[in-house]
Amino acid sequence: MTAEAPILEITELGNPILREQTKRIKDPFAPEIQHLIDAMFETVIAARGVGLAAPQIGVNLNLFVMTPEVQHSPPHMTLENGIAIINPEFKAIGTESESDWEGCLSIPGIRGYVPRFCHIQATYTNRHGETVTQEFEDFMARIFQHEYDHLQGKVFLDRIKLSKDIITDKEYMRIVGALEEDEE
């Protein structure tokens, strides 16, 4: 791992690359792929995100990075513990799905109430070239499905059932604040 990966500019909604189907990575060991993974970790950590897909930094490849564990802001992802996911596939385990609020570094200022499968089984190649089969649940499954969508040229807005389920960050903070007060 290189120590000096750059922080990259994040593409935003309207950039055509966010709407493209990405290409499979043939050689995970290629230095440019390894360097790209490092730069994506640097970028998502700097942006305090929990996941980042290659199209979000302008690269049309089948790759995303995500946090290793469920966490709340600020995320605790580091260069050492983040997961790099190459050429992923997944299937739902069961049919249960749940809606919750999502945001996206490429759609600043907006949140949406998005249905996702609660439990999935993912298969992907990690940065060491190993094939990994892993189950994700709840928030982790949500992150995986959000990032996977980016690789198919989709964003979370495409999954929202009603336009009233799109709100601003400011209102989202008000809702979350109210919920947390309720819990106390």
- What does the binding site for Zn ion look like in residue numbers (CB under 5 A)? 104
Task: Say whether 89 is catalytic.
Answer: no
Measured distance CA(76)–CA(78) in Å, rounded: 6
Q: Which of 4, 12, 32, 147 is catalytic?
A: 147
> CB of 112: closest distance to Zn ion in angstroms?
11
Nearer to Zn ion, 5 or 151 (CB): 151
Residue closest to Zn ion (Cβ): 104
Burial class (CB in 10 A: 0-12, 13-18, 19+), 31: exposed
Nearer to Zn ion, 55 or 129 (CB): 55
Q: Within its chain, how far is the Cα of 37 from the centroid?
A: 14
> CB of 182: closest distance to Zn ion in angstroms?
28
**DSSP 8-class letter at 22:** P
What phi and psi values does residue 156 have, to the nearest 5 degrees?
-60, -25
What phi and psi values does residue 170 have, to the nearest 5 degrees?
-60, -45
> CB of 29: closest distance to Zn ion in angstroms?
27
Catalytic site positions: 147
